Amino acid sequence: MNVIEVNNLSKKYKDILAVDDITFSVEKGSIFGMIGPNGAGKTTTIECTIGIKKRDQGMISVLGFDPLEKSIDLYKKIGVQLQETSYQDKIKVHEICSLFMSMYSEPLDYVPLLERFNLSNKNKSFLSNLSGGQRQKIAIILALIANPEIIFLDELTSGLDPKARREMWTYIKELKNEGRTIFMTTHYMEEAEFLCDTICIIDEGKLIATGDLQSVINKADIDTIITFNTKEDIVTAIKNNITGISKLEITENKISIYSKNADLISELILFLEKNGISYNNVNIIRPTLEDAYLKMTGKSWKE
Amino acid sequence: MNSFIKVIFIEWKLNNRNFLNVFFALFFPVMMLMLFGTMYGNEPIAQFGGFGSIDVSIPGYICIIIAVTGLMTLPLTLSQYRERKILKRFMVTPIKPIDLLSSQLIVNTVTTIIGMIILLIVAKIIFEITFIGNFLKTTIAFIIVLLSMFSIGLFIAGISKTMKAATVISYIIYFPMLFLSGATIPLEFMPRSIINLSKIFPLTYGVELLKGVWLGGNLLDYMNDILILSSIIIIFISLSIKFFKWE
Ligand SMILES: Nc1ncnc2c1ncn2[C@@H]1O[C@H](COP(=O)(O)OP(=O)(O)OP(=O)(O)O)[C@@H](O)[C@H]1O
Ligand SMILES: [Mg+2]
């Protein structure tokens, strides 16, 4: 079942077409991750989806509501962390939390939430005195107070150190295990790889690829590279016996084979063994999400 | 707790944690009272129709409090809330940014009233001021002045893109009014040119109205001021509704 359906969404700011005819859907209980360069239109897409920006074209349904019409009913059921927000001057953690609790009829209590995110000792601190990572935790706590069915996280982990980021990953996984749906954006490829069930790449307002990790990588159509060392001269033999090689490189006694066919490795090993060729140091470099991302969004990065 | 009450309660606490807000609304007017009171005393003076200097100055000081909360605190806070995307964050909750705006109106009204009460208590104890006006009429005049200043403040908050811009606009409007509307220095003491100039400041009409009613006048005697202030309220509220940018 899809909890978010976005069809042919377009959004213009004066002369910039920030989002250009984007269509996607998010399945209930999944983690949907949007990646794309700065200015690609991620924030605009999120903000149109939750109804704080008016779309110019397209249909949006979130939990069955059109965010521009039944917004209050919708806002009772979603939690949001916006890319940029700060809080009132001199407000304390427990004050902002209890303020958010008062907005919902069946909120989650913030005290256990603070505990869960290891912030209990900051209950009485001014928000302005928290570290960046702690403030991001507050942002996610405020989103959770709604006891939301869907959580929108716009670059939650930007600016966090690697340890804090991985800590956030655990929390996000936990939220998924609680049955919540997550719509997130990130600039960290390993984060998208680790967390997202569905990845969506957008660039200059256009949707470039969407699907699970493997299908997005496949779409980029990048060679897998197999390297191994051998003292024997087998280049011609390999060329004649193994198909699907796009490029072959030899440096001293190291051979690198480029191919779109990721299963080439088994063919290769079989060939080497059958012909009694001695080899070692086999290495296989599969394309990562980062490679796919750079290829599909980069203007200068071309094979 | 009802969320709107909670918002008011928290905004009230935050307002009181801001030194400048508290200083200008609660202490600055009292300091002015002490300064001018010590200089002139409160003996009855024929030029003031038998009232003392302080008796006639109090309504002006009250107008200053209204101008501070309405033209400074209100627009600066709201424009900051917009610039820092706080209003935007409230858009995606079941309560609306307008609740935050309304709570600011309430908080600043309460601050104004408290500032006025402190001022009156000090003035009563130290300078033994007398109040011969009618309480209801004075309250009506007070509300009209308050609404006129707050509607201008809302407009400033609504149109200024940044808090910096709001600060500049507020200062440009507030400081000349402080000295040239008769609020601090009675216009009776001013040269003709300043009196003419004072007519462009909305607060001038506010001071005239509140002072008149405070000293026992009738609302009807100040119909001119009431009409001007009411037009200001209607114009600026409409402009605010039309132009207020939430983000
Ligand atoms: N309020 C606005 N007015 C005018 N242009 C805007 C506005 N907001 C965004 N844009 C433009 O729209 C485009 C998309 O911006 P958006 O914020 O959606 O990108 P993003 O993918 O979230 O980028 P980032 O990764 O840097 O957060 C950009 O070119 C940006 O300059
Ligand atoms: Mg963004």
For the stretch A204-226, pLDDT in tens is: 999 999 999 999 999 999 999 99
What local confidence, expressed as pLDDT, does residue B189 receive? Answer: 81
DSSP B200: T
User: B105 Cβ partners below 8 Å, 6+ apart?
Assistant: B74, B150
Distance of CA B218 to the CA centre of its chain: 22
What local confidence, expressed as pLDDT, does residue A264 receive? Answer: 87
For residue A239, pLDDT over 90 is answered with no
What local confidence, expressed as pLDDT, does residue B7 receive? Answer: 95
Q: A39 alpha carbon to ligand 2 midpoint, in Å?
A: 7
What local confidence, expressed as pLDDT, does residue A85 receive? Answer: 85
Q: What percent of chain B is helix, strand and coil (3-state, nearest 5)?
A: 80, 0, 20
Q: What residue type is assigned to position A254 of the chain? A: K
pTM equals: 0.91
Nearest CA-CA partner of A101 in A47, A166, A158, A146? A146
What local confidence, expressed as pLDDT, does residue A213 receive? Answer: 96
What local confidence, expressed as pLDDT, does residue A16 receive? Answer: 93
Give the residue with greater pLDDT, A300 vs A252. Answer: A252
> In the structure encoding, which two tokens stand for residue A99, read together?
């303020």
Give the residue with greater pLDDT, A28 vs A232. Answer: A28
- Chain B neighbors of A125, CB-CB under 8 A: none
Res. A294 pLDDT band, cuts 50 70 90: very high
CA angle A101/A106/A109 to nearest 5° reads 50
What local confidence, expressed as pLDDT, does residue A301 receive? Answer: 47
As a whole number, mean pLDDT of residues B116-143 equals 94
CA angle B220/B224/B226 to nearest 5° reads 70
Looking at every residue in chain B, the average pLDDT score rounds to 93
> Where are chain B's structural domains?
2-243
Cβ contact, residue pair A102, B18, below 8 Å: no
What Rg value do the Cα atoms of chain B yield, rounded?
A: 18
DSSP helix/strand/coil, B45: coil
User: B234 Cβ partners below 8 Å, 6+ apart?
Assistant: none
Does A88 lie at the interface with B, CB-CB under 8 angstroms?
yes
- Residue indicated by tokens 């998208």: A192
User: B53 Cβ partners below 8 Å, 6+ apart?
Assistant: B36, B37, B40, B41, B42, B43, B45
Render pLDDT for B201-227 as a digit per residue (tens, 0 to 9).
Answer: 999 999 999 999 999 999 999 999 999
| Pairing mode, strands A2-13 and A57-62 | antiparallel
| Pairing mode, strands A31-35 and A16-27 | unpaired
User: A83 Cβ partners below 8 Å, 6+ apart?
Assistant: A43, A154, A155, A185
What local confidence, expressed as pLDDT, does residue A300 receive? Answer: 52
Nearest CA-CA partner of A138 in A105, A76, A96, A75? A96
| Cα separation, B131 vs B26, whole angstroms | 21
- Are the C-beta atoms of residues B239 and B220 closer than 8 Å to each other? no
Residues β-bridged to residue A34:
A185, A200
User: A274 Cβ partners below 8 Å, 6+ apart?
Assistant: none
DSSP helix/strand/coil, A242: coil
Q: How far is A109 from chain B (nearest CA, A)?
A: 14
The residues on B that touch A, with CB distances below 8 Å, are 1-3, 6-7, 10-11, 13-14, 17-18, 80-81, 84-86, 88-89, 91-95, 247
What local confidence, expressed as pLDDT, does residue B105 receive? Answer: 97
As a whole number, mean pLDDT of residues B81-110 equals 94
Q: Indicate left, alpha or beta for A209 from its phi (over 0: left) and psi (-120 to 50: alpha).
A: beta
DSSP A212: S
| Cα separation, B113 vs B144, whole angstroms | 14
What local confidence, expressed as pLDDT, does residue A303 receive? Answer: 43
What local confidence, expressed as pLDDT, does residue A299 receive? Answer: 63
Predicted-complex ipTM score:
0.89
Residue minimizing CA distance to atom 17 of ligand 1: A43
Question: What CA–CA distances, in Å, run from A231 to A172, A245, A264?
Answer: 49, 21, 21
- Chain A neighbors of B2, CB-CB under 8 A: 102
User: A14 Cβ partners below 8 Å, 6+ apart?
Assistant: none
Looking at every residue in chain A, the average pLDDT score rounds to 93
- Chain B neighbors of A103, CB-CB under 8 A: 3, 93-95
As a whole number, mean pLDDT of residues A105-126 equals 96
DSSP helix/strand/coil, A71: helix
| Cα separation, A254 vs A249, whole angstroms | 8
What local confidence, expressed as pLDDT, does residue B1 receive? Answer: 61
Give yes or no for residue A39 CB within 6 A of ligand 1: yes
For residue A257, pLDDT over 90 is answered with yes
| Cα separation, B17 vs B225, whole angstroms | 36
- Chain A neighbors of B20, CB-CB under 8 A: none
Secondary structure tally for chain A: helices H, strands E: 11, 13
What angle do the packed helices B135-159 and B53-67 form, to 10 degrees? Answer: 30
Res. A143 pLDDT band, cuts 50 70 90: very high
| Cα separation, A117 vs A133, whole angstroms | 11
Does A98 lie at the interface with B, CB-CB under 8 angstroms?
yes
For residue B44, pLDDT over 90 is answered with no
Q: What residue type is assigned to position B57 of the chain? A: S
- Residue indicated by tokens 């309560």: B95
Residue minimizing CA distance to atom 6 of ligand 1: A13
| Pairing mode, strands A198-203 and A206-211 | antiparallel
